Amino acid sequence: MAISAADVKALRERTGAGMMDCKHALVEAGGDLDKAVTVLREKGVAAATKKGNREAKEGVIHTYIHPGSRIATMVELNCETDFVARNDMFQSLARDIAMQVAASKPQAVGREQMSQGLVDEESEIYRNQAKNEGKPDHIVDRIVQGRIEKFYQENCLLEQPFIRDTDKTVKDLITDAVGTLGENIQIRRFIRYELGGE
């Protein structure tokens, strides 16, 4: 099937992927632009999985001050080489993540960093809520598990819906960047300040 240069260009603009990757994805998707985006994302997930164990010691520390100067954030975003760290796409990713932290108030990067004491405390609250709602004992554990999943999605940065495209999580954003830039990328840590906050 012949793929037009215009379609390749359109896909590249939508995804930021390389020209040849876009062409191959369009061929695989039979020329369907939306399917080609999915193909690229799936390949990005596969690439991210392979690259996930490689060491990421380069990167940037990006600061963001929200208009009005009442909220400020600082994010450390790591990659493998200083070449990628200076890349505009990587810099833009760091800025987007810093803005995400300002807007969404995450408590940890991922589940592994979440305080077990806090998770246990939330579980107990959800258990008591379910019992007070008169839910049968045999489904209380399932209700608690469902609410804890929602708690993780709201409070773990990687699991939050991305503020600029809520169909994606922050983890999807990182995965897409790994697929495009070809390096392991990790959010190492962040800090958020709010005027008058603790």
78 plus 141 within the same structural domain: no
Judgement on whether residues 183 and 86 belong to the same structural domain of the protein: yes
**pLDDT (0 to 100) of residue 163:** 94
> What are 129-146's pLDDT values in tens digits?
888 888 888 888 888 889
Amino acid at 21: D
Average pLDDT over residues 137-156: 89
CATH of the domain at 125: 1.10.286
Displacement of CA 22 from its chain's centroid (Å) = 22
pLDDT, residue 160, reads 96
Query: pLDDT band for position 50 (50/70/90)?
Result: low
Q: Collapsing DSSP states into helix, strand and coil, what is residue 23?
A: helix
What percentage of the chain carries pLDDT values higher than 90? 44
pLDDT at 8 > cutoff 90:
no
Tokens in use for 184?
Answer: 């392991």
CATH number at residue 64: 3.30.479.20
Which pLDDT does position 91 carry in this prediction?
A: 95
State the residue range of the domain holding 124. 115-154
| Calpha distance 142→145 (Å, rounded) | 5
Instruction: State the CB neighbour count (10 A cutoff) for residue 109.
Output: 22
The residue ranking higher by pLDDT, 57 or 85, is: 85
Q: Are residues 63 and 104 in the same domain?
A: yes
Q: Are residues 28 and 64 in the same domain?
A: no
* Residue 63 CB neighbours (<10 A): 13
CATH of the domain at 37: 1.10.8.10
Amino acid at 9: K
- Let me know whether 162 and 149 are in one domain: no
Q: Is residue 12 domain-shared with residue 43, that is, in the same domain?
A: yes
- Residue 179's nearest CA partner among 35, 49, 30, 12 is 49
Q: Answer whether 55's CB lies under 8 Å from 188's CB.
A: no
Per-residue pLDDT at 17: 66
Lookup result for tokens 């592994």 = 112
Whether residues 102 and 167 fall in one domain: yes
Q: Which band of pLDDT confidence, cut at 50, 70 and 90, is reported for residue 32?
A: confident
At 14, list the tokens: 């939508």
- Closest Cα to residue 74, out of 198, 196, 197, 193? 193
Instruction: Mark whether 87 and 22 lie in a shared domain.
Output: no
CA distance 153 to 141: 18
For residue range 71-130, list pLDDT tens digits in order.
999 999 999 888 899 999 999 999 999 999 999 999 999 999 988 888 889 888 888 888
What is the number of structural domains in the chain? 3
Least confident of 47-61, 134-148, 157-171: 47-61
Q: Are residues 94 and 160 in the same domain?
A: yes
pLDDT at 31: 86
One domain for residues 73 and 169: yes
The answer for residues whose C-beta is within 8 angstroms of residue 34's C-beta and 6 or more apart is: none
